[in-house]
Amino acid sequence: MRRRLAFGRWLAVGLLAIAAVATPSTAWAAPATQVIQGDVLRLVSVADWDAAAGMLPGQPLRWDVAVSAQAPDPGVIRIGISATGGAALVVDVAMCRQAWAGTDCPGGATTLREDWPISRDGAETPLAEIADTETAHLRLAITLDAGDAAGSTEVRIQARGAGETVAVGPDGGLAVTGASPRTAWLAAAGVLLALAGAALGRGRRVRAEPQRRTRA
């Protein structure tokens, strides 16, 4: 009976471990806001960079960037994107003329890029042009390409206008590949459950042996 209770406790610990790592927590969905203010141009970036450091294929990262300006004379803001690194990324980019309301864009969003394998040579790709009296609310969905997921890649959004350039992006790379902390804990919990199950099976066989001898 004691052995059965011990195995039950080990099994419960394993199940709790799996539940803890399999259930998303605020630590895995905690977007950080970064403001880049130039003399005229302003970028406001919102993304969960902790999650970006452990991206897995098929799990898109959302990145919002608002681009605006306070220019003394009428002008145009040119917005572009660039990337450098070893991990292949697929990017969707949409632009809203007003602030996003959850997943919706009041007035309708403009698709700038869709299912786009972004170039990683550092060259800037134009995305949009707006008047300096407007605000562009960009929403990016960035996914790690499972076919070429080696290393890390840094993506940057640049805005040019009124004689200056400002840029924003993650520090240290956007898509660090390999097992994330959650994956490692899941693997450990799986091993724990396998060991507990094997030990429980051995205990049952040991109890069954005396019964067979008694019947004989």
| Average pLDDT of every residue of the chain | 77
pLDDT at residue 18 in the model: 42
Least confident of 133-147, 178-192, 200-214: 178-192
pLDDT at residue 4 in the model: 52
CA distances from 130 to 46, 72, 86, 179 (A): 20, 16, 32, 40
pLDDT, average across residues 75-93: 95
Query: Is it the case that residue 17 has pLDDT exceeding 50?
Result: no
pLDDT, average across residues 63-89: 94
CA distances from 56 to 89, 142, 150, 190, 201 (A): 11, 11, 11, 19, 35
pLDDT at residue 123 in the model: 96
**Percentage of the residues of the chain whose pLDDT score is greater than 90:** 51
Domain 31-178 has CATH 3.20.20.70: no
pLDDT at residue 21 in the model: 40
d(CA 116, CA 179): 25
Q: How confident is the model at residue 26 (pLDDT cuts 50, 70, 90)?
A: very low
Q: How confident is the model at residue 50 (pLDDT cuts 50, 70, 90)?
A: confident
**Percentage of the residues of the chain whose pLDDT score is greater than 70:** 64
Residue pointed to by tokens 């399999």: 22
**Tens-digit pLDDT profile for residues 119-135:** 999 999 999 999 999 99
pLDDT at residue 198 in the model: 55
Tokens matching residue 195: 């060991």
Higher model confidence: residue 192 or residue 175? 175
Least confident of 22-26, 88-92, 209-213: 22-26
How deeply is 112 buried, as exposed, middle or buried, from its count of CB atoms within 10 A (0-12, 13-18, 19+)? buried
Neighbours of 193 (CB within 10 A): 17
pLDDT at residue 205 in the model: 55
Query: Is it the case that residue 182 has pLDDT exceeding 50?
Result: no
pLDDT at residue 54 in the model: 83
Higher model confidence: residue 105 or residue 205? 105
CA contacts within 13 A on the Cβ side of 86:
8
